[in-house]
């Protein structure tokens, strides 16, 4: 197996900025505790392809509801690799849980972005069976799979990322 990446937490300041943007101001002591308890993604078994991302807070989603989650995680990886993010299989099966951008794509140069490469997940319970999804603190909700990729023979891109999420099309 190739070892091509390492997960890190973003800085407390970056996490605080993402959290406040999503949920509004939080008690500083409580926010520090949330930050300290962030778990780095990990595989469940030796044969798992996906690295599970864990909920930094408990939450419930009614059918049709959406939540944006600042994970507090960033990933450093070798060039020519990408981290693809998907809902955990069981949650997709039970609740039609979906990432709002279908598949999250974390490029290798995102780690050096202005927002430190902070990975956010915007998820929706798309259940058509009136099932409410409940997740507890630390439950896995999303998985990331590293994939090697290639480029075309005539590709001459030299641009360097200078922003966070969605910055390459601005």
Is 166 a residue whose pLDDT tops 80? Answer: no
pLDDT digits (tens, 9 = 90+) for 64-121: 999 999 999 999 999 999 999 999 999 999 999 999 999 999 999 999 999 999 999 9
Distance CA 86, CA 52 (A): 10
> Does the reported pTM lie above 0.95?
no
Of 67, 69, 131, 44, nearest in space to 96 by CA = 131
Of 25, 4, 17, nearest in space to 72 by CA = 17
Helix (H) or strand (E) holding 141: strand 140-148
What's the pLDDT band for 26 if we cut at 50, 70, 90? confident
Do the Cβ atoms of 32 and 80 come closer than 8 Å?
A: no
What's the pLDDT band for 161 if we cut at 50, 70, 90? confident
Distance CA 82, CA 110 (A): 10
Distance CA 30, CA 129 (A): 35
Do the Cβ atoms of 70 and 161 come closer than 8 Å?
A: no
Residues in the chain: 170
Q: How much is the pLDDT for 126? A: 93
pLDDT digits (tens, 9 = 90+) for 113-142: 999 999 999 999 998 889 999 999 999 999
What are the distances in angstroms from CA 42 to CA 18, 38, 51, 53, 158?
A: 22, 12, 5, 7, 33
């Amino acid at each position: 197996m190739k070892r091509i990446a390492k997960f890190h937490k973003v800085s407390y300041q970056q996490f605080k900025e993402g959290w406040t943007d999503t949920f509004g101001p939080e008690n500083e002591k409580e926010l520090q505790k949330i930050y300290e308890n962030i778990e780095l993604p990990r595989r469940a078994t030796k044969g798992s392809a996906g690295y599970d991302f864990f909920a930094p807070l408990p939450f419930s989603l009614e059918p049709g509801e959406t939540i944006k989650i600042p994970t507090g995680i960033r990933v450093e990886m070798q060039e020519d690799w990408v981290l693809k993010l998907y809902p955990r299989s069981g949650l997709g099966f039970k609740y039609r849980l979906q990432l709002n951008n279908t598949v999250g794509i974390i490029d290798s140069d995102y780690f050096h972005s202005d927002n430190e490469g902070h990975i956010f997940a915007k998820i929706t319970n798309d259940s058509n069976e009136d099932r409410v999804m409940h997740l507890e603190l630390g439950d896995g909700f999303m998985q990331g799979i590293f994939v090697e990729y290639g480029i075309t023979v005539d590709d001459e891109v030299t641009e360097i990322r200078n922003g966070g999420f969605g910055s390459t099309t601005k």
